[in-house]
């Protein structure tokens, strides 16, 4: 992982100084070698363990953070020599294809290019947004950086609309951040700056064509693309860390590593004391399947760790206790074992579980047998269990004419969560913000539509930035095969009939992995419930001091009585339903106190 910083539109001396300032604000990511480019009216740099750099004299120059997953295909398409590195491949792609260059790339990257001929700066973020990239404009000067804190300045104000979404636990905005002046370059986008202004350009859109064939055909395609994604994530490492939770996703990643012998895995997992969170039996099954001895960590839970103290450093909304605070001891143990990169199963839930909206597709074609099988399956449907409420919301409503749906919304408008003040919600237009969705006219199915919405999800964007922040803080590189662009394209092209069949979900993944999975894991339908960890973290002393929520109350953002009920239910009663809202409230309160407390 490397830091990227760029300035466009400033005098040369000021531009270079601003780049150096931004790098200094990202000390962990930028530690190592620095490549600085002076190309008036731009200056930019990449800094870290292996910053990418390439230059085509008289044409364009590049600096960035790049891990190409389809290096061989790109090299072959460009007819370049086998020794050509990622930076040279990307810059040559730009030289030949202009702003269309990034559509052929798979992998994780944050790149800055200065085009000497067009006199423009182009910043690119990878298709799934694994590498973060932010920007801000002040008085005609554009600044771009890998971390939010590199761009935050005294006097910045909060973005109330974005924070209202965060408070509701339903982030939709993919461009906003907690600060009104700082914006995110969304996944699969270019930021293009020239004399005429600054614009965002989307460079990748998944195809709407759905693949046909038998279940065996879908399984073979998934296995082939999945193995290639895992292989690409292992490149450069003889030994690779692998998260092991006993779930289908991480077990599939490990199975691919072992079946194809692409690296020697060093496996590791967390052990938690609550029965609903205890995955020891499945971790043991995975270990026995491959005769491995995983690194097992029992993180402290009395109280559990949290990220409120990290706000002062990263300046962003804190991670949930189930994120970086939970994984810190495990990653430290893996790092001590000599591991530099760790494979995760993150992303499997998003792309391969199956959508509740598949009910609408079954209903549209009058597949009563399929709906009844779903209803009878009960817990076997895992992430998509049947309920009449889900059937109406995800099965019936999508089939109603849009005019009918609009009339229903007018007759019974949606309300914000009870803990959010209604006047504040109305002022920021929260209801309309939460309804925003990408244009999916022409979608081949309702389940495809929901998958496509997920690509432009603010929740997904923030989650992946938190993964990245976690990796930098923990000193390991996290690699996510399930977020490989080629695998996501396959997920959208795979019909939900391959995921949901015979009263089970994730069917195509279970069958594609076959005996790579331990029998117990292959049959597993549930997931660990980490609500008790959220409750345990709420009992830390430095969390309790925020529970009266004075900042949120004084700003008028919350309904104080409802918010205090959440505090009591979570902290005193241990109510799992209140656990997540507790952290939406306390996390934002702590952020406001840290960043704006003096004001």
Closest CA to 105 of 78, 132, 145, 135: 78
- Considering the chain, tell me which residue range(s) the CATH 3.60.20.10 domain(s) occupy: 2-202
Is 211 strand, coil or helix?
Answer: coil
Supply the DSSP symbol for 501: B
Q: In Å, how far are 239, 289, 486 from 341, measured between CA atoms?
A: 8, 23, 21
Classify residue 180 as exposed, middle or buried by CB count within 10 Å of its CB (0-12, 13-18, 19+).
middle
Q: How far is the C-alpha of 136 from the C-alpha of 185, rounded, in Å?
A: 10
Residue 103's contacts (CB-CB under 8 Å, 6 or more residues apart) are 203, 204
Assigned token pair, 453: 């919405």
The residues facing 6 across adjacent strands are 44, 144
Distance CA 484, CA 69 (A): 8
Which residues have a Cβ under 8 Å from the Cβ of 193 and sit 6 or more positions away?
Answer: 8, 9, 120, 121, 122, 123, 142
Q: What is the pLDDT of residue 21?
A: 98
CA distance 217 to 210: 13
What pLDDT does 598 receive?
A: 58
Q: How many Å apart are CA 299 and CA 306, to the nearest integer?
A: 12
| CB < 8 Å & 24+ apart, contacts of 87-93 | 87/52, 87/53, 87/54, 87/62, 88/54, 90/52, 90/54, 90/62, 90/64, 90/66, 91/54, 91/55, 91/56, 91/60, 91/61, 91/62, 92/56
**What is the Cα–Cα distance from 471 to 478, expressed in whole angstroms?**
6
Contact yes or no for 591/317 (Cβ under 8 A): yes
Class of domain 209-423+433-524: alpha beta
- Who's near 17: CB < 8 A, 6+ residues apart? none
Tell me where in the chain the CATH 3.40.50.620 domain(s) lie. Answer: 209-423+433-524
Q: Which residues contact 548 (CB under 8 A, 6 or more apart)?
A: 564
- Take residue 83 and report the two structure tokens written for it: 């020794």
CA 512-505-292 angle, to 5 degrees, is 50
**CATH 3.60.20.10 for domain 2-202:** yes
Per-residue pLDDT of the chain (599 residues; tens, 9 = 90+): 899 999 999 999 999 999 999 999 999 999 999 999 999 999 999 999 999 999 999 999 999 999 999 999 999 999 999 989 999 999 999 999 999 999 999 999 999 999 999 999 999 999 999 999 999 999 999 999 999 999 999 999 999 999 999 999 999 999 999 999 999 999 999 999 999 999 999 999 999 999 999 999 999 999 999 999 999 999 999 999 999 999 999 999 999 999 999 999 999 999 999 999 999 999 999 999 999 999 999 999 999 999 999 999 999 999 999 999 999 999 999 999 999 999 999 999 999 999 999 999 999 999 999 999 999 988 888 878 889 999 999 999 999 998 888 777 777 777 899 999 999 999 999 999 999 999 998 999 999 999 999 999 999 999 999 999 999 999 999 999 999 999 999 999 999 999 998 888 999 999 999 999 999 999 998 889 999 999 999 999 999 999 999 999 999 999 999 999 999 999 888 999 999 999 999 999 999 999 998 55
**Could you say which DSSP state residue 81 is in?**
-
């Amino acid at each position: 992982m490397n830091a990227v910083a760029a300035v466009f539109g400033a005098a040369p001396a000021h531009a270079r100084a601003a780049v150096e300032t931004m790098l200094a604000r990202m000390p962990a990511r930028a530690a190592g070698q620095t490549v600085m480019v002076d190309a008036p009216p731009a200056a930019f740099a990449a800094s870290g363990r292996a910053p990418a750099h390439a230059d085509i004299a008289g044409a364009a120059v590049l600096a960035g953070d790049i891990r190409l997953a389809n290096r061989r295909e790109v090299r072959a398409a460009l007819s370049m020599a086998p020794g050509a590195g990622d930076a040279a491949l990307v810059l040559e792609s730009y030289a030949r294809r202009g702003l269309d260059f990034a559509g052929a790339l798979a992998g994780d990257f944050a790149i800055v290019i200065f085009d000497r001929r067009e006199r423009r700066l182009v910043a690119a973020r990878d298709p799934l947004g694994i590498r973060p990239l932010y920007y801000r404009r002040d008085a005609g000067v554009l600044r771009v950086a890998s971390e939010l804190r590199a761009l935050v300045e005294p006097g910045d104000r909060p973005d109330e609309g974005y924070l209202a979404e965060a408070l509701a636990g339903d982030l939709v905005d993919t461009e906003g951040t907690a600060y009104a002046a700082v914006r995110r370059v969304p996944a699969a986008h270019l930021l293009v700056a020239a004399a005429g202004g600054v614009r965002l350009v989307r460079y990748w859109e998944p195809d709407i064509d759905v693949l046909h064939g038998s279940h065996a055909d879908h399984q073979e395609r998934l296995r082939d693309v999945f193995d290639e994604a895992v292989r690409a994530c292992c490149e450069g490492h003889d030994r690779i860390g692998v998260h092991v939770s006993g779930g289908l996703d991480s077990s599939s990643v490990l199975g691919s590593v072992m079946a194809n012998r692409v690296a020697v895995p060093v496996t590791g997992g967390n052990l938690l004391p609550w029965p609903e969170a205890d995955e020891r039996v499945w971790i043991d099954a995975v270990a026995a399947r491959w005769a491995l001895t995983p690194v097992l960590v029992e993180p402290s839970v009395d109280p559990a760790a949290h990220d409120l103290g990290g706000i002062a450093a990263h300046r962003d909304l804190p991670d949930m206790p189930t994120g970086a605070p939970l994984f810190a001891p495990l990653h430290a143990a893996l790092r001590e074992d000599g591991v530099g990169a760790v494979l995760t199963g993150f992303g499997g839930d998003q792309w391969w579980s199956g959508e509740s909206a598949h009910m609408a597709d079954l209903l549209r074609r009058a597949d009563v047998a399929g709906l009844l099988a779903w209803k009878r399956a009960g817990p076997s449907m895992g992430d998509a269990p049947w309920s009449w409420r889900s059937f109406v919301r995800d099965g019936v409503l999508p089939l109603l004419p849009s005019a009918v749906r609009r009339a229903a919304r007018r007759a019974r408008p949606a309300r914000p969560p009870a803990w959010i003040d209604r006047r504040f919600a109305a002022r920021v237009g929260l209801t309309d913000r939460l309804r925003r969705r990408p244009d999916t006219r022409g979608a081949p199915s309702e389940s495809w539509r929901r998958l496509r919405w997920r690509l432009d999800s603010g929740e997904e964007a923030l989650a992946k930035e938190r993964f990245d922040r976690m990796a930098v803080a923990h000193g390991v590189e996290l690699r996510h095969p399930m977020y490989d662009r080629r695998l996501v394209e396959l997920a959208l092209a795979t019909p939900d009939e391959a995921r949901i069949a015979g009263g089970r979900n994730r069917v195509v993944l279970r069958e594609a992995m076959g005996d790579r999975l331990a029998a117990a894991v292959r049959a597993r339908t549930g997931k660990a419930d980490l609500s008790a960890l959220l409750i345990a973290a709420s009992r830390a002393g430095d969390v309790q001091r925020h529970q009266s929520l004075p900042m949120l109350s004084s700003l008028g953002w919350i309904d104080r009585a409802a918010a205090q009920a959440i505090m009591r239910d979570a902290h005193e009663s241990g109510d799992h339903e209140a656990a997540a809202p507790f952290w939406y409230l306390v996390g934002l309160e702590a952020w406001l106190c840290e960043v704006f407390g003096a004001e």
